[in-house]
Amino acid sequence: MFKIFKYSFFDMIRNRWMFIYMGFFLLVTTVLLMLSNDVTKVIISLTNIIQVLTPLIGILFGTMYYYSSREFIELLLTQPLSRKSVFAGVYLGLAMSLSLSLVLGVTIPMLFFGVFTSSALSTFLTLLAMSVVLSIVFSLLAFLIAIRYEDKTKGFGVAIFTWLFFGIIYDGIFLMLLLVFKEYPLEKLTITLTFFNPIDLARILIILKLEISAMMGYTGAVLQKFLGSLNGTILITVMLTLWTVIPFALMLRKANKKDF
Amino acid sequence: MIKFENLYKSFGKNDVLKGIDIHFDHQGITAILGPNGSGKTTLIKCLLGLVLPDSGEIFFDKEKTLNQFEYRHHIAHLPQIARFPENLTALEIIDMITDLREGATRVEELIEMFDLKKELNKKMGTLSGGNRQKVNLLIALMYDTPAIILDEPSTGLDPVAIINLKQFLREEKAKGKLILITTHMMSFVEEMADNIAFLLEGKIYFDASLQQILADHNETNLERAIAKILHADLKKEVHV
């Protein structure tokens, strides 16, 4: 698996889109830091950007990469290599390079502003963890979609819809439910619904860390009230871990049952 | 060495393999023949583990192949439609496979045989159809394996390459290897094959030696013998 990972990873980091992706975060972080010297404020702004952009880029790039690697994957599958190691290797190469571009893009400007000696270091690390997890989850969803749909157009359509669903539609439905059932106690429903959206989970994780109640929204407030910041953080971390482990297992299962 | 037991496979409503029972134990060259869509490529892909059968078993050296991969060390496989990463050169692909598989290769010998030296540093996407097929053959045959399976090896090859390939296969056969070939070129079969397995509508229609088929039907030409067999069968059906 490691060798396949190596090929996939080096293939990806030579891709100019990875440079553009990293360049974008370099630029945005630098500009934000220049506009406001307060690292915490920059982290909040970055949270807002990352929670929209990493899922989108993760899912689009993941789908694109799978489709363009189909030949490579088919070539590998005729070799004495297990399907699991082929798919795990190719996927990890993608996930690692996506995460690396993002982490470097955000961290390099932050280094110059002394983030590692500032009090916001742990929040910054949470932000990095959140962006890596979102990249992993959405590129995994991309692989699941692309393995399922042979037709590229369909695959991209489903991928964009998935992003739209978790990024916008889900929150809309959530809000509607809260409004319709406002007469009833909704705390449990709120917490449960949050668990099914990785973007919400990641956002709340940072907000709990920052302890800015104004930004928490209903879900964040409920989580903090019922679980406290620490328990809330632990629970969210567990859920986000499940969000990476379960789709990964599903992806390998689907790949194992596919005809090439 | 290779055994298919009651193999079924369908793609949606399309039943491609309908109970294949055949074993290939004899050394030498067996041609798998059959009209388009009779399931030749699916059968080979099942053996390679690329297509998963709905039911039935496949054995390689008496071991089940399903969900295994080690046995592929012993099979050289030429896919019908070569799919390569288009942005890599032939040399990069060869290097990658040698790195992944390890062990001694006969790359140099094959480069010489197919006269590929000049093509090695070109990206796969820019190669002509014939040269692509040569690289495909090179990658398939670069390891010395006891079983060789070639799906339409002569597609796109020039006469010189075909002659060289035939010579190469004769040498491999002399080493006692099991060679399976699918092709639509009857002259290739007549010249090279010892045995013939004929697939029709997802079943093994007949499996016999080339001489036997020709003798049984009193023919010197394989194409005619096969036509006779199919025609006789059709008549029988109409009669019933």
pLDDT for B102 = 80
Report residue A114's pLDDT band, with 50, 70 and 90 as the boundaries. confident
- Type of residue at B68: Q
Among the partner residues B11, B50, B101, nearest to A80 by beta-carbon distance: B101
Chain A CB contacts of B70 under 8 Å are 80
Instruction: Please say whether the beta carbons of A224 and A233 come within 8 A.
Output: no
Q: How far is A227 from chain B (nearest CA, A)?
A: 45
Chain B CB contacts of A70 under 8 Å are 83
pLDDT for B238 = 57
Among the partner residues A70, A72, A257, nearest to B52 by beta-carbon distance: A257
Residue given tokens 């194992």 in the structure block: A256
Among the partner residues A4, A71, A79, nearest to B72 by beta-carbon distance: A79
Instruction: Please say whether the beta carbons of B182 and B31 come within 8 A.
Output: yes
- What confidence tens digit (pLDDT) does each residue in A62-90 have? 999 999 888 888 888 989 999 999 999 99
- Who wins on pLDDT, A242 or B222? A242
Q: How far is A4 from chain B (nearest CA, A)?
A: 8
pLDDT for A122 = 87
Q: Which range marks the domain in which residue B78 is found?
A: 2-239
Closest residue of chain A to B51, computed from CA coordinates: A259
| Beta carbons of A78 and B72 less than 8 Å apart | yes
Looking at the predicted structure, is the pLDDT value of residue A215 above 70? Answer: no
Q: How far is B58 from chain A (nearest CA, A)?
A: 16
* Cα–Cα distance for residue pair B56/A249, rounded to 1 Å: 27
Looking at the predicted structure, is the pLDDT value of residue A227 above 80? Answer: no
| Beta carbons of B100 and A75 less than 8 Å apart | no
**Phi/psi of residue B233, nearest 5 degrees:** -65, -40
Instruction: Please say whether the beta carbons of A138 and A58 come within 8 A.
Output: yes
pLDDT for A214 = 61
Interface test with A, best of B41, B48, B50, B127 (most A CBs within 10 A): B50
Tens-level pLDDT at each residue, chain B (240 residues): 899 999 999 998 999 999 999 999 878 999 999 888 889 999 999 999 999 999 999 999 989 998 889 999 999 999 888 778 777 889 988 998 999 888 888 999 999 999 999 999 998 889 999 999 999 999 999 999 999 999 999 888 999 999 999 999 999 999 999 999 998 888 899 899 999 999 988 899 888 888 888 888 888 888 888 888 777 766 665 554
Q: Which residues of B touch A (CB under 8 A)?
A: 11, 45, 48-52, 67, 69-73, 77, 79, 83-86, 93, 96-97, 99-101
Average pLDDT over chain A reads 89
What total number of domains does chain B contain? 1
* Cα–Cα distance for residue pair A223/A233, rounded to 1 Å: 9
| Beta carbons of A80 and B99 less than 8 Å apart | no
- What confidence tens digit (pLDDT) does each residue in A1-26 have? 788 888 888 888 888 889 999 999 99
* Cα–Cα distance for residue pair A115/A40, rounded to 1 Å: 10
Buried b (16+ CB within 10 A) or exposed e, A168-199: eebbeebeeeeeeeeeeeeeeebbebbbebbb
Chain B CB contacts of A80 under 8 Å are 69-73, 101
Interface test with B, best of A79, A253, A254, A257 (most B CBs within 10 A): A79
pLDDT for A195 = 87
Report residue A222's pLDDT band, with 50, 70 and 90 as the boundaries. confident
| Beta carbons of A78 and B79 less than 8 Å apart | yes
Cβ contacts of B222-231, under 8 Å, gap ≥ 24: B222/B186, B222/B189, B222/B190, B222/B196, B223/B186, B226/B33, B226/B198, B229/B198, B229/B205, B230/B200
| Beta carbons of A78 and B50 less than 8 Å apart | yes
- Transcribe A202-229 into DSSP letters: HHHHHHHHHT-HHHHHHHHHHHHHHHHH
* Cα–Cα distance for residue pair B77/A243, rounded to 1 Å: 38
Among the partner residues A7, A72, A79, nearest to B101 by beta-carbon distance: A79
Chain B CB contacts of A75 under 8 Å are 83-85, 93, 97
Closest residue of chain A to B48, computed from CA coordinates: A78
Q: Tell me the average pLDDT across A227-231.
A: 75
Q: What is the CATH number of the domain that holds B31?
A: 3.40.50.300
Interface test with B, best of A2, A78, A90, A252 (most B CBs within 10 A): A78
Q: Where are the domains of chain A?
A: 2-256
- Type of residue at B15: D
pLDDT for B149 = 94
- Percent of chain A at pLDDT exceeding 70: 97
Task: Decide if A122 touches B, using CB distance below 8 A.
Answer: no
Q: Tell me the average pLDDT across A201-205.
A: 86
Instruction: Please say whether the beta carbons of A94 and A12 come within 8 A.
Output: yes
pLDDT for B82 = 77
| Beta carbons of A3 and B100 less than 8 Å apart | yes
| Beta carbons of B100 and A70 less than 8 Å apart | no
DSSP H helical segments within chain B, as ranges?
40-48, 90-101, 107-114, 129-141, 159-174, 186-192, 210-216, 222-239
Instruction: Please say whether the beta carbons of B31 and B208 come within 8 A.
Output: no
Looking at the predicted structure, is the pLDDT value of residue A166 above 90? Answer: yes
Nearest to B28 by CA among B176, B212, B151: B176
Looking at the predicted structure, is the pLDDT value of residue A218 above 80? Answer: no
Closest residue of chain B to A80, computed from CA coordinates: B72
DSSP structural state of residue B89: B
